[in-house]
Amino acid sequence: MDAAASPPERSATTAARVVSARTPLVPRLRNLLERRELLWGLIVSDIRIKYKGSALGLIWSMLSPALTLATYYLVFSVFLKNGIPGFVVYLFAGLVVWTMFQTAVSTSTGVIVDRAGLVKKVSFPREILALSNVGASIFYFVIQFAILVGFVLLVGHHVTWSWAWLLLIAFVSLALFAAALGIVMSAITVYLRDVRHLMDVLLQLWFWVSPVVYSYSNSLATPLHNHGLTALYFVNPITPIILTFQRVIYGSPIVTSTTSGLPLHVLPSWPLSTFATMNVVILAVALVAFLAALAVFGRLEGNFESEL
- How confident is the model over 256-271, as pLDDT tens digits? 776 777 777 788 888 9
Q: Over 80: is that where the pLDDT of 107 sits?
A: yes
Q: What are phi and psi of 24, to 5 degrees?
A: -55, 160
Using CA atoms, how far apart are residues 30 and 117, in angstroms rounded to an integer?
A: 25
Judge contact between 85 and 256, C-beta under 8 A: yes
Ordered by start, the domain boundaries in the chain are 24-307
Segment 130-158 mean pLDDT: 91
Judge contact between 215 and 66, C-beta under 8 A: no
Using CA atoms, how far apart are residues 127 and 183, in angstroms rounded to an integer?
A: 6
Q: Residue 154's CB: how many other CB atoms inside 10 A?
A: 8
Gyration radius from the chain CA atoms: 23
Query: Rounded mean pLDDT of the chain?
Result: 81
Using CA atoms, how far apart are residues 190 and 144, in angstroms rounded to an integer?
A: 32
Tell me what percent of the residues of the chain surpass a pLDDT of 90: 36
- Helices 36-50 and 127-155, packing angle to 10 deg: 60
Using CA atoms, how far apart are residues 255 and 73, in angstroms rounded to an integer?
A: 18
Lowest-confidence region among 11-15, 136-140, 215-219? 11-15
* C-alpha torsion sign, points 90, 91, 93, 98: positive
Using CA atoms, how far apart are residues 118 and 162, in angstroms rounded to an integer?
A: 47
Query: pLDDT band for position 10 (50/70/90)?
Result: very low
Q: Residue 8's CB: how many other CB atoms inside 10 A?
A: 8
Q: What are 238-256's pLDDT values in tens digits?
A: 999 999 999 999 988 888 7
Judge contact between 179 and 293, C-beta under 8 A: yes
Vertex 295: Cα angle to 305 and 16 (nearest 5):
35
